[in-house]
């Protein structure tokens, strides 16, 4: 919730001094395509990021420097699994782009990183990576089969 995020960030700044970098890496892993899955992803991934950015952006702008980093996922671009997770991670990319435009003149950088899956033979990642690799392979064959884009 907004008050808890604001209170936490204020305590961090009070205890450690000015904040120079905000890394938004929370995730509710909204893995089910139902009301609960969407709500979990929306509240944790998207609104947690937005609320933290609302709190820190004015401080960074006042300092004239700093960086905000949103951690998205390649799922935002490839849609290999859960619809809520993929859609919310795509929304983070859009939010970062808009925030970057609004803060650039004040010396604040906003970026998004989109890590891919790390395939290893355990639980969810094995299934997720298999789907992702199949998608990537078919995508590359389709677009690169004749040597051009």
Residue 37 CA to residue 29 CA, distance in Å, equals 8
DSSP string across 9-46: HHHHHHHH----EEEE-------SSSHHHHHHHIIIII
Token pair belonging to 2:
């907004």
CA distances (Å), 79 to each of 1, 18, 64, 106, 147, in order? 28, 38, 37, 34, 25
DSSP state of 68: E
Active site residues: 85
């Amino acid at each position: 919730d907004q008050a808890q995020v604001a209170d936490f960030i204020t305590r961090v700044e009070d205890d450690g001094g000015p904040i120079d970098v905000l890394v938004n890496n929370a995730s509710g892993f909204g893995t089910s395509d139902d009301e609960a899955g969407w709500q979990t992803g929306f509240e944790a991934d998207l609104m947690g990021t937005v609320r933290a950015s609302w709190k820190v952006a004015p401080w960074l702008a006042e300092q004239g420097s700093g960086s905000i980093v949103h951690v998205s996922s390649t799922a935002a671009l490839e849609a290999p699994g859960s619809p809520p997770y993929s859609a919310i991670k795509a929304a983070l990319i859009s939010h970062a782009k808009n925030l970057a435009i609004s803060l650039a003149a004040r010396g604040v950088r906003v970026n998004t990183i989109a890590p891919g899956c790390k395939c290893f033979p355990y639980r969810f990642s094995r299934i997720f990576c298999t789907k992702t690799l199949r998608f990537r392979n078919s995508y590359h064959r389709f677009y690169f089969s004749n040597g051009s884009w």
